[in-house]
Structure formats: structure tokens, C-alpha cells
Amino acid sequence: MRVIIAAAGTAGHINPGIAIANKIKQEKKDSKIIFIGTTRGLENDLVPRAGYELKTIEAYGLSKKLTLENLKKMYKTLKGYGEAKKIIQDFKPDIVIGTGGYICGATISAAHSLKIPTMLHESNAFPGKAVKMLAKKTNTILVSFEDAIPRIKKAKKVVCTGTPVKIKKKDYTSQERNKILEEIGLKENKPIIVVSGGSQGAQKINEAMIEIIKNKYNQNYQVIWATGTKQYDSIKENLENSQININYVERMKIVPYIYNMEEIMNVADVSIGRAGAMTVTEIANLGKPSILIPLPNVSHDHQLYNAKVLEKIGAAKIILNDELTGEKLNHAIEEIILDKVKMQKMGESAYKVSTQQVEDKIYQEVRNLVK
């Protein structure tokens, strides 16, 4: 099987593409797979690191505003369409798959014009502009959440497969669980809360956590908190100014980044963080209660829509970014952990919207298109 995967920008676009490529190679070892991306995004690191060849073209998001800068981007994107078409003609793929980013517009359109079967994967509950624009041209659109299906008009075929994620549900023994907790300096006697705003950290979440520490709110729970690598030193200094040593905060482990996130997410009782598609998918697959603070000012408020997938079934509590304080976050945590029945029901509800055998389902749809 010969496959081109278009993915650019963020890890949330690129990692699903890599997971799909890995599944195809696993099922058909002689498959030839290349990626198309831009010169600007994380694909330049992640794709070669995963062992795949990356071809780059010019592609930008287009704005309705008629400015010189936008006209330049429009010209470069049209040029990118021609570049994508040339790559496809040379490689002669059996299928072209897009997993996100502006790159999909040029690549899927070029494949459609050459009558190559096409597929798009949308991770968010609120589909992006590219998916809506390409719906009529794409043979099959895969979505992560059922909520996305009615939001894609005029699509030929939409299938809810879920999104491939690295973090899987693990059933640890009590001995294994205790070992993981011991390694981070926490105990079994109080609920475990994992807090993370992603690799860069989330300023507003970090400010709320500092407030929790300074007011010693976390009497009834323990926390492992990833501040983000760029914010760790400033948080350390902030706490030192209040005579608090970042390494000796009671019932709390504070780190720049959590490298064993799969282990930590599995032993945690509640997850707190942003509401990116990958995060929400992982929370659902693990069956964890969550408190979600959607990142504001992103296209179509898609993080808010992702969070609502869990909130509407009673699996998550949403706190808007502008309304987040340490006091409010602490109240939300205690509202969950002090009611064991509620905490269990929230986890069970989250698991109900999880999707299993995601890679298998996606591969089957690929097979359906590649006759």
C-alpha cells in the first residue's frame, strides 16, 4: 500500500497521522508512506523522529481580510497546491490521508483532482474550517466524537472511530500503584489529582495552583502538578518569595514535565487541565473524572466544545479560563473527591464515550477505500 499523510502544525495534528502510519506498516509491512507538511511546524521534528520521510510545501490559513500579507499567503498556498499535486503524481499513492493543519486543504484538493481516494481525520468536537471546506471532496471523514458528525454538512461518509492516543488504560495491582506513588513522593491515603497545562504550561492554571499552595487548600487531597518547562523557574521563585520551597510543599509534587504520564494518569483519581482533543480522548479512555479549563481564543472555541462532550454526560466540570481562581478550583476538586459515589459515576460516564480499537477501526476504513 502506498500512502501519503498530510499533517502539520501541532502534535495534536501530527501524532494521529503517525499512529495511522504505524498501524498501516504493522498490518502491511511493505507499505510505502510519506508525509506532507510545512517547514514551520512540529512535523519537522516528529515525523523524521518516527522514521518517515517528510516532504514540505507552502500552506497558510486564509483570511477574508484583503491585506497585502493575506494576498501573499494566498499566492503561496496556491503554489503549495501545485507542489502537493507534483508530489502526489510522483509518489502515486493508493490513498491520501489528512490529519490536520492548513496543509490538508492543498493536499486533499490536489488528490481529489487526480481522482486519488481521500480521507480526513478530525480530532475536535467542533470541526475546523479545512474539514468543512473539504467535506464534499473527501471520500471518508473520521471523527473522534459523535458530537462532530452533525457539524459536518454535505459529507459523503462520516465515521466515528476515535483518535489514536498514546495513553492507554492500565489495571495496576495495589503493589504497582504504590510503587508509582512512592516514586513521586505521594501516598495512598488521600485522592491523587494530576494537574497539567501541556508541555508549555498554562499560565492561568499555574496561578490557581500557586493560590492553592499559599492558602494550604489541599488538606483533603494530593497533587502532582506539571508546571510546563518554561514556567517552572518563575513559579519556583514566586513560591520562594513566600518562603515556600518548591520541593517541600505538603501533599504535592511539583515538576516541570511529567514523563511517565501514562502511569500518573492511571493512578490519579481526578485530572485537571486544558481540553485539547487528545487530552479529552485520553480522559475518556481512562474513565477519569476531570476539571477542564478550555483554552480561550482558539478557532471556534473548539476546546470548549471538546470539554462539553464530557460535561454534558456528567463526567467533567468546566471552569472558564477568565473565571478560574485557586479558591474556585479547590472547591471543584473537593466537590468531586469528598463524594465517592459522584467521583465513581463521573469516571464511569467518561468511559462511556471512550472509543476502543481506534487504530483497527481507522485501518478498516483505509482498507475500504483502497480496493
Record the cell numbers describing residue 265, joined without a space. 494518569
pLDDT at position 69 over 90: no
Residues 141, 362 contacting (CB under 8 angstroms): no
User: What kind of architecture, by CATH, is found in domain 2-163+356-369?
Assistant: 3-Layer(aba) Sandwich (3.40)
Mean pLDDT to the nearest integer, 345-349: 97
Beta carbons within 8 Å of 229's beta carbon, 6+ residues apart: 199, 200, 201, 256, 257
- The pTM of the full predicted model, rounded to 2 decimals, is 0.87
CA distance 256 to 111: 42
Of 131, 89, 81, nearest to 4 by C-alpha is: 89
Tell me the β-bridge partners of 7: 100
pLDDT top residue among 74 and 7? 7
Query: Quick one: CA dihedral 224, 227, 229, 235, positive or negative?
Result: negative
Of 67, 133, 124, nearest to 102 by C-alpha is: 133
Cα distance between the two ends of the chain: 10
pLDDT at position 298 is 75
Residue 186 DSSP label? -
* DSSP symbols for 4-50: EEEE-SSHHHHHHHHHHHHHHHHH-TT-EEEEEE-SSSTHHHHHHHT
Mean pLDDT to the nearest integer, 312-337: 97
Residues 141, 159 contacting (CB under 8 angstroms): yes
CA distance 288 to 174: 18
CA distance 96 to 140: 11
Mean pLDDT to the nearest integer, 47-61: 88
Residues 142, 122 contacting (CB under 8 angstroms): yes
pLDDT at position 70 is 61
What digits encode the pLDDT tens for the residues 262-298? 999 999 999 999 999 999 999 999 999 999 999 998 7
pLDDT at position 299 over 80: no
What digits encode the pLDDT tens for the residues 125-134? 999 888 888 9
CATH fit for domain 174-352, picks 3.40.50.2000, 3.30.300.180, 3.40.50.2300, 3.40.50.720: 3.40.50.2000
Of 86, 150, 162, nearest to 121 by C-alpha is: 162
Paired sense of beta strands 316-318 and 252-255, if any: unpaired
In the chain, domain spans: 2-163+356-369, 174-352
pLDDT at position 62 is 53
Mean pLDDT to the nearest integer, 107-131: 93
pLDDT at position 8 over 60: yes
pLDDT top residue among 299 and 251? 251
Residues 282, 194 contacting (CB under 8 angstroms): no
Mean pLDDT to the nearest integer, 197-203: 82
CA distance 122 to 266: 26
CA dist 334 to 168, 269, 331, Å?
26, 12, 5
pLDDT at position 160 over 60: yes
Averaged pLDDT of the chain: 92
pLDDT at position 75 is 52
Beta carbons within 8 Å of 269's beta carbon, 6+ residues apart: 191, 192, 193, 221, 288, 289, 337, 343
pLDDT at position 86 over 80: yes
pLDDT at position 177 is 93
Q: Where does residue 66 rank: exposed (0-12), middle (13-18), buried (19+ CB within 10 A)?
A: exposed
pLDDT at position 57 over 80: yes
